[in-house]
Amino acid sequence: MYLCPALQNEPILQNIMNKKNCFLSVLFALAFFIYSCDEKKELIPTTIDGEWIVIERTLETNDPSLDMNVNDLFREDSRNYTIKRIFSENQNNPAIGAIETLAIDKKTDVSFRKRIGTYAITSDSIFIEDELLKDFRQKYLLGPTLLETQVKVTKKELDVLVFEIGGDPNTVREGTVGKLKMREVR
C-alpha cells in the first residue's frame, strides 16, 4: 500500500514524459533539418564602393549654440538637396580610390555642390582628402546598405563645413572641437 496517491501513477507519468521528450526531440531534429537544408545564400562581400545617400548628419561640439545652428543648417540642406558620396575603388587596390561628394538640388536635379578627392580605407578608418579638407579621418561602420561615420572636427574643418552648407564660418569660435556623425544608405 502506497502512502502518497500521486506515486501510485508513477509509471504513467514516466510514460507521458518519455512521449513528450520523444516528441520534442523529433520536432527539434525536424527544425534543424529544415534550417540546414534551406537554400544556401551566397555571402556578398561588403564594400564601400558605390553611391551612398546621406540621410543624417549631426554635429556635437563644446559649443551648444553652434551645434544647434549647424544641425538646423544640416536639416535645411537635406530638405533642399540630396547629398551623395560616391566611392570608386581602385581596381588594383580596393583600399584606395576616388571620392566625389555631391549636393543635388531636389527640385531641378542639378548638381549644386561638388567636391572631388581621394580616400584610403583601413579596418576602422576612412582617410579622405579633397580640395577643401586634408587628412579627414573618419571612423566607420560599414554594412551592405548602411555606412555610419564619425569624425573628430576642429575649427579648421568646421569652417569649411559651415561655409559649404550656407552658414557663416565666423560663428565657429577658436578652440571649438567636436564630432560629426553621418549615416548613409545605398
Question: Quick check: 140 and 128 in contact, CB under 8 A?
Answer: no
Percent of the chain topping pLDDT 70? 76
Residue 50 pairs in a beta bridge with 87
Q: What confidence tier does 156 reach under pLDDT thresholds 50, 70, 90?
A: very high
pLDDT at 59: 97
Say yes or no to pLDDT of 4 above 90.
no
- Name the DSSP class of 171: G
Confidence of residue 17 (pLDDT cuts 50, 70, 90): low
The pLDDT, as a whole number, for residue 47 is: 86
Cβ partners under 8 Å of residue 141, min gap 6: 147, 148, 149
Specify the pLDDT at position 131. 83
C-alpha to C-alpha distance for 87 and 96, rounded to whole angstroms: 9
Mean pLDDT of the chain: 85
Confidence of residue 124 (pLDDT cuts 50, 70, 90): confident
**3 state DSSP class of 86:** strand
How far is C-alpha 155 from the chain's CA centre?
Answer: 25
d(CA 80, CA 114): 15
- The model's confidence at residue 46, banded by pLDDT at 50, 70 and 90, is confident
pLDDT at 130: 86
Tell whether the model's pLDDT for residue 117 goes beyond 90. Answer: yes
Taking residues 78-85, what's their average pLDDT? 96
Nearest to 176 by CA among 24, 69, 89: 69
pLDDT tens digits for range 125-135: 999 998 888 77
